[in-house]
Amino acid sequence: MINFSKQEWEDMKKFGHIEKGNEKNIAVEGLYYGGDKIVGDRIKKYEYVPFSIEEIIHAGLSNLKDKKVKLKNANDIAQEIRKALHESAGYSVIRLGDGELIFLSHDVLNPTDSITNNPRFNFLSYAGVQLPNHGLRDHLTEALLEADALGIPIARYPTFQNLFTKLSKHYKWNLEKMNLVSSNIHFEILKYTTLLDEILKNYKVLLIGNRMAEGVEYFKKLGYENVVGNIPVKGINSVPSVIEQASQFDYDVALVSAGIPANLICVNLAKSNKIAIDFGHTIDWLLSGDFNIKSFDNGAINSSNCFDIAYYYFSWDDFKTAAFWYEKIVELEKSSTKKSVQNLTIAHIQLAVCYWELGDLQTAYEHNEQARILAPNDPSVLQNKNFFEGQLKK
């Protein structure tokens, strides 16, 4: 795979044609066929549309603004899971990646031969399925409509979000009534919430998947004693056996890392009033040491990752949750022997923006004043001061 830099893409967009045979020429052709050619095919030869492709897309999106579907973020789903746990109700989180979507599409949108003859999709057997399997395809299609939260791809690639869109139109799913999240929700829950720590500390947990024996030992080494056992998964045909084995355990939450079968397992376990989360590669990331479990008790939360977490919610326009994490930064810095004036200043500036967005002008002004004490000559702080004082006079 060839990855071009941002500047290379900008140059190709700006200057277009590259020498024939050059890999950049393929990229330029892709840009053309994915944008301007589509426009050109829809107008007469003698018609001229004096707008760039970006402007045309922007105008089109403006007309579709009422059709946009808002996805929920990690905190939204964490809160729904906490509520289900409190009420002893079932709740399933499943995710659709390209493997699930290709499987769902076989002999519906894409002939089986076109999939099995493409080396890129050789991973499907690793993901737990063999094609064709129309019965399991239809079963999985029904199951995703029963999920309490459904993760869909963010990336608008042909076999990711665009394929989900085609499937949704084929089956006429009512997207507005579906509880949609990012298909990275397992990662987002790990990185941007403390939910996993809460679950492992306070509830009985069953681990399902082929690396979960390692997971049992991993969690125990971290001091989590509520893991009741693990069940391996030998492909999608083993799902009934897995569900039967799970019924022999006393547990509250199942973390399921089992590829495509995870979707069926999670939905079925939720029917027995269990919380079942498609854990995906989260167990791999934890075992490799690439990520850790966020907790206020284990030192895994510092100002740096609070900024990451706050920015995540800020970018989702969830200003209430973002403010919570910016407040945490203020709290951590004030209690630190190595207090960072820069971190405090940025946190207060961001809190000013959050509270402005939340409609609390007075609190926004007060946080900006705190930032001004720390950085009296900062241009953005002074600009905010003039703005907020003007608003307060109205």
Which of these, 270, 294, 295, 266, lies nearest to 280 by C-alpha position?
266
* Mean pLDDT for all residues in the chain: 93
Give the DSSP per-residue string, 95-146. E--HHHHHHHHBTTTB-HHHHHT-GGGGGGTTTT--S--HHHHHHHHHHHHH
pLDDT score recorded for residue 14: 67
Amino acid 1: pLDDT? 55
User: What gap in Å lies between CA 187 and CA 292, rounded to an integer?
Assistant: 11
Q: How far apart are the first and last CA of the chain?
A: 57
Q: Where are the alpha helices (DSSP H) in the chain?
A: 6-15, 23-33, 36-40, 53-63, 74-86, 98-105, 112-116, 134-146, 161-171, 185-192, 195-202, 212-221, 239-246, 261-270, 282-288, 303-315, 319-335, 341-357, 361-374, 379-392
Band of the pLDDT at 7, cuts 50, 70, 90? confident
Query: Is residue 335 within 8 Å of 356, Cβ to Cβ?
Result: no
306 — phi, psi (to 5°)? -65, -40
257 vs 270: CA distance, rounded Å: 16
What is the structure's pLDDT at 326? 98
Domain limits, the chain: 6-67, 69-296, 303-392
Task: List the strands of the sheet with 227-231, edge to edge.
Answer: 180-182, 149-152, 91-95, 275-278, 253-257, 205-209, 227-231
The yes-or-no verdict on residue 21 having pLDDT over 80 is no
DSSP string over 282-301: HHHHHHHTS-----TTTT--
Per-residue model confidence (pLDDT) at position 16: 67
Among 257, 204, 212, CA closest to 228: 204
**Residue 34 reports pLDDT greater than 90:** no
Range 30-50 average pLDDT: 84
Q: Which CATH number is 303-392 given? A: 1.25.40.10
Find, among 268, 260, 214, the residue nearest to 235 by Cα: 260
DSSP assignment letter at 70 = P
295, 197 Cβ separation under 8 angstroms: yes
Q: In this structure, are strands 227-231 and 205-209 parallel, antiparallel, or unpaired?
A: parallel
Closest by CA position to 121, among listed 159, 167, 166, 170: 159
**Residue bearing the bigger pLDDT, 330 or 2:** 330
pLDDT at 154: 92
Q: ∠ at Cα 231 (226, 237), nearest 5°?
A: 150
Ramachandran sector of residue 172 (left: φ over 0; alpha: ψ -120 to 50; beta: rest): left
Are the C-beta atoms of 354 and 338 separated by less than 8 Å? no
Distance CA 122, CA 191 (A): 30
Give CA torsion, residues 75, 79, 80, 86, to 10 deg. Answer: 160
Give 263-316 pLDDT, tens digit per residue.
999 999 999 999 999 999 999 999 999 999 999 887 778 999 999 999 999 999
Confidence band for 38, pLDDT divided at 50, 70 and 90:
confident
Mean local confidence (pLDDT), 112-127: 89
Alpha-carbon distance of 235 to 265, in angstroms, equals 11
Cα torsion at 107, 109, 111, 114 (round to 10°)? -140
- What does the alpha-carbon distance between residue 54 and residue 135 come to, in Å, rounded to a whole number? 43
Q: How many other CB atoms sit within 10 Å of the CB of residue 230?
A: 20
Quote the crossing angle between the two packed helices 185-192 and 195-202, to the nearest 10°: 80
Cβ pair 69, 175 in contact under 8 A:
yes
Residues 274 and 204: their CA atoms lie apart, in Å, by 11
Q: What is the pLDDT of residues 334-381, one digit of tens each?
A: 998 888 999 999 999 999 999 999 999 999 999 999 999 999 999 999
